[in-house]
Amino acid sequence: MSQHKPNTFRAGPDAEGRFGIHGGRFVAETLMPLILKLEEAWKQAKTDADFIAEMDFYRKHYIGRPSPLFFARRITAHFGGARLYFKRDELNHTGAHKINNVLGQALLAKRMGKTKIIAETGAGQHGVATATACALFDMECDVFMGAEDVMRQKPNVDRMRLLGAQVHSVTSGTGTLKDAMNEALRFWVTHADSHFYIIGTAAGPHPYPAMVRDFQTIIGNEAKAQILEAEGRLPDAIVACIGGGSNAIGLFHPFLDDESVAIYGVEAAGRGIDSGAHAASLNGGRPGVLHGNRTYLLQNDDGQIQDAYSISAGLDYPGIGPEHAWLHESGRVNYVSATDQQALDAFALCSRLEGIIPALEPAHALGFIGTMIGDMDKEQIVIMNLCGRGDKDLEAVLPILEKQNKLSGKLL
Ligand SMILES: *Cc1c(COP(=O)(O)O)cnc(C)c1O
């Protein structure tokens, strides 16, 4: 654990793309020129008035931003503690926060003169968002998806194809997200001149973790302005679920230097951290190198990457963005976890009490909140990122809730 206390938590990464010892740029020689070009293009774009105006336009008229900040009155009453607000990024076009990042990278690709896009996807949400942006901007789209996931997530495969994307079924390894990302990186090495790689979370080689974060900080920037308007002060705590960590860093980053705000990142504990069947890279993994950056990873004693498990397909990545690894070691953010069952209970609770069916991913954040918010003072304020809607999860969730007698509505 690093004991130094920086006067800002928002300055990273350094010139080499490192957050403390994490992050960096571990890529094939042939990719280096391309990565450097991308870094330069991003550096210029992010302060360019035309690029900013274009982003603002699509955020407002295509994604539907700003998303509301909603006071969850009935859940607040249910737990009897702090006031809970939802940042409603599930209302975005395509149903989650991923489009915030995808539109940004697609516009950057356009600016760089690229018309061919590649992406990796696990559950298919990032693939759908990428295929959406490619349809919008008339770009060619190749999506790499593990063969196992192609079978498990057929509706998203159908969506991507309808939007015009080619979906590559990846059979290497265990045919899941980490293999899809390996394959996408391999493909990129041989098509580096023609293709732009849109990474779906705040991970990968520098500049991706910082760039994806910058596109997602719209969440935290809006939330901060909205809570100041609604309550006249900052929240006491903010909470988000963690897969690779993009929605979380998007909410957290604008609050990192606000000392009074406690920050919680919620990993998926699956069947429990001790069971080994989980996706908690910080709580149950250790540092290593994967997909171009150093970070915490799920690995066995020999350093082999272990497949992550969670009931939520969007959280089962065996790594985590490097900035979170650093925020964990610096102690600024508390990384906690919620099990499948806690997420399922929160999924049912949120649907029943607020009329909002959340995705299973943010249901983990709400599951954790349920363990602590009741002990907080009634005057305190908590903001949770409700980063996706749950329509995609009904098929997986309903049979379980039915079996557990937790479907409160009846078919008479
Ligand atoms: C993909 C996804 C996640 C996990 O990704 P992060 O990069 O950790 O945000 C979480 N929630 C939803 C709704 C998703 O689609």
Single residue among 205, 235, 257 that ends a domain in this structure? 205
User: What pTM was estimated for this model as a whole?
Assistant: 0.97
Taking CA atoms only, the protein residue closest to ligand 1 atom 4 is 243
User: Does residue 287 lie in a domain region?
Assistant: yes
User: What CATH number is given to the structural domain containing 123?
Assistant: 3.40.50.1100
Q: Kindly state whether residues 186 and 166 are assigned to the same domain.
A: yes
Residues with CB under 6 A from ligand 1: 96, 98, 125, 201, 241-248, 314-315, 359, 361, 387-388
State whether 297 and 335 are in the same domain: yes
CA–centroid distance, 393 to ligand 1, in Å, is 13
> How many helical (H) and strand (E) elements, i.e. helices and strands, does the chain have?
16, 14
Decide the pairing of beta strands 293-297 and 334-339: unpaired
Alpha-carbon distance 280 to 267, whole Å?
5
Report which ligand 1 atom has the smallest distance to the Cα of 315.
4
Residues 245, 372 share a domain: yes
Q: Which of 246, 291, 320 to mutate for ligand 1's pocket (most ligand atoms within 8 Å of CB)? A: 246
Name the phi and psi angles at 18, rounded to 5: -95, 140
Three-state DSSP state, 142: strand
Classify each residue of 167-192 as buried b or exposed e, where b means 16 or more C-beta atoms within 10 Å of its C-beta. Answer: bbbbeebebbbbbbbbbbbebbeeeb
| Ligand 1 center from residue 9 Cα (angstroms) | 23
CA of 54 to the centre of ligand 1 (A): 25
Q: Inform me whether the pLDDT recorded for 5 exceeds 80.
A: no
Is residue 266, in this structure, part of any structural domain at all?
A: yes
Pick the residue whose CA is nearest to atom 14 on ligand 1: 314
Q: How many structural domains does the chain have? A: 2
Whether residues 231 and 181 fall in one domain = no
In a domain, 38, yes or no: no
What is the residue type of 207? P
The residue nearest atom 10 of ligand 1, judged by CA position, is: 361
- Do 108 and 143 lie in one domain? The reply is yes
Which residue lies with its CA nearest to atom 2 of ligand 1?
Answer: 314
Going by the DSSP 8-state scheme, the letter that residue 335 receives in this structure is E
Q: Are residues 243 and 300 in the same domain?
A: yes
Determine the Cα–Cα distance for residues 272 and 357; give it in Å rounded to an integer: 24
Q: Does residue 21 sit within a domain?
A: no
Judge if 127 and 158 occupy the same domain. Answer: yes
Rg (CA), the chain: 20
Q: What is the 3-state secondary structure (H, E, C) of 21-60?
A: CEECCCCCHHHHHHHHHHHHHHHHHCCCHHHHHHHHHHHH
Residue 6's pLDDT band (boundaries 50, 70, 90)?
A: confident
Query: Residue 347: is its pLDDT beyond 90?
Result: yes
* H or E stretch covering 150: helix 147-152
- Looking at the structure, tell me whether residues 226 and 348 fall in a common domain: yes
Q: Are residues 201 and 245 in the same domain?
A: no
Q: Is residue 296 part of a domain?
A: yes
The verdict on 84 and 109 lying in the same domain is no
202-231 per-position pLDDT tens digit: 999 999 999 999 999 999 999 999 999 999
pLDDT attached to residue 316: 84
* Arithmetic mean of pLDDT over the chain: 96
Q: Which of 89, 94, 125 to mutate to test the pocket of ligand 1 (most atoms within 8 A of CB)?
A: 125
Closest CA to 75 of 385, 346, 380: 346
Among candidate residues 182, 205, 228, the one where a domain is terminated: 205
Residue 19 confidence (pLDDT): 98
Structural domain boundaries, residue 367: 63-95+216-403
The residue to mutate among 89, 92, 98, having the most atoms of ligand 1 within 8 angstroms of its beta carbon, is 98
> 90-117, pLDDT tens digit by residue?
999 999 999 999 999 999 999 999 999 9
| Span from the CA of 362 to the centroid of ligand 1 (angstroms) | 8
Query: Are 76 and 138 in the same domain?
Result: no
Distance 72 CA to ligand 1 centre (A): 21
Residue 15 lies in a domain: no
371-391 tens-digit pLDDT: 999 999 999 999 999 999 999
* Residue 4: predicted pLDDT: 60
The residue contributing the CA closest to ligand 1 atom 1 is: 314
More confident residue, 4 or 363: 363
Residue 190 maps to a domain:
yes
Q: Please state the atom number of ligand 1 nearest to the C-alpha of residue 200.
A: 7
Distance 242 CA to ligand 1 centre (A): 7
Task: Give the tens place of pLDDT for each residue, 303-340.
Answer: 999 989 999 988 988 999 999 999 999 999 999 999 99
Are residue 123 and residue 164 in the same domain, yes or no? yes
Look at residues 205, 240, 269 and tell me which one is the last residue of a structural domain: 205
Amino acid identity of 251? L
- Tell me if 330 is assigned to some domain: yes
